[in-house]
């Protein structure tokens, strides 16, 4: 049995991620989806908690659930310990799927095989873009799986992103 590891922040989970998982499952028996930066939420780049991100993924990949394992991992300042922590706390896997050159470097150094993920319509299916569209009240709903869209709306995710963007735009003093 073969298993791939697919690492992302999923802020939010979008169609690019969804298609990548389907592609990986053509080559592997199972895929572990690793929700990175798990300690972060309510920030510009990481508006959703890892609990919420896992929920999005669970609801959006239902038909593949028997071949998908979803886990999360926090940022660790040392890149070497970040890699090792995943090895220690995740079930074993044979290959890492990523397009991030740093992630590739780190896993290859540790002796793992690394493959590119083919991202379809990379310009559209892009977390940064989607957060920006939401903050500007523009159309974003078609860029994510329908279950993810519903969930984001259910938890008031659009308002949260707009609020956080406004915070960054203001001068702040005297708090946190």
Give the span between the Cα atoms of 3 and 141, in whole angstroms: 31
Q: Are 156 and 26 in contact (CB under 8 A)?
A: no
Q: Which residue lies nearer to a second copy by CB, 38 or 135? A: 38
Residue placing its CB nearer to a second copy in the complex, 4 or 16: 16
| Closest approach of a second copy to the CB of residue 140, in Å | 14
Contact (Cβ atoms closer than 8 angstroms) between residue 120 and residue 16: yes
Q: What is the DSSP letter of 148?
A: H
CA 31 to chain centre: 14
What's the min distance (Å) between Cβ of 159 and a second copy? 10
Q: Which residues bind a second copy (CB under 8 A)?
A: 7-10, 16-17, 36-43, 49-52, 54-55, 58, 65-66, 69-72, 75, 77-82, 84-85, 87-92, 98-103, 105-106, 119, 126-128, 160, 163-164, 166-167, 170-176
């Amino acid at each position: 049995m073969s298993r791939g590891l697919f690492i992302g922040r999923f802020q939010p989970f979008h169609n690019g991620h969804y298609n990548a998982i389907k592609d990986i499952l053509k080559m592997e028996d199972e895929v572990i989806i690793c929700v990175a930066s798990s300690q972060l939420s309510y920030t510009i780049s990481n508006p959703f908690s890892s609990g919420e991100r896992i929920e999005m993924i669970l609801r959006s990949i239902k038909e593949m659930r028997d071949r998908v394992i979803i886990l999360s991992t926090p940022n660790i300042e040392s890149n070497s310990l970040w890699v090792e922590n995943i090895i220690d706390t995740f079930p074993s896997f044979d290959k890492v799927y990523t397009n991030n050159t740093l992630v590739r470097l780190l896993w290859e150094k540790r002796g793992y095989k690394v493959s590119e993920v083919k991202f379809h319509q990379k310009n559209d299916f892009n977390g940064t873009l989607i957060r920006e569209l939401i903050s500007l009240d523009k159309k974003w709903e078609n860029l994510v799986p329908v279950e993810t869209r519903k969930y984001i709306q259910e938890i008031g995710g659009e308002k949260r992103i707009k609020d956080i963007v406004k915070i960054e735009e203001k001068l702040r003093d005297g708090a946190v």
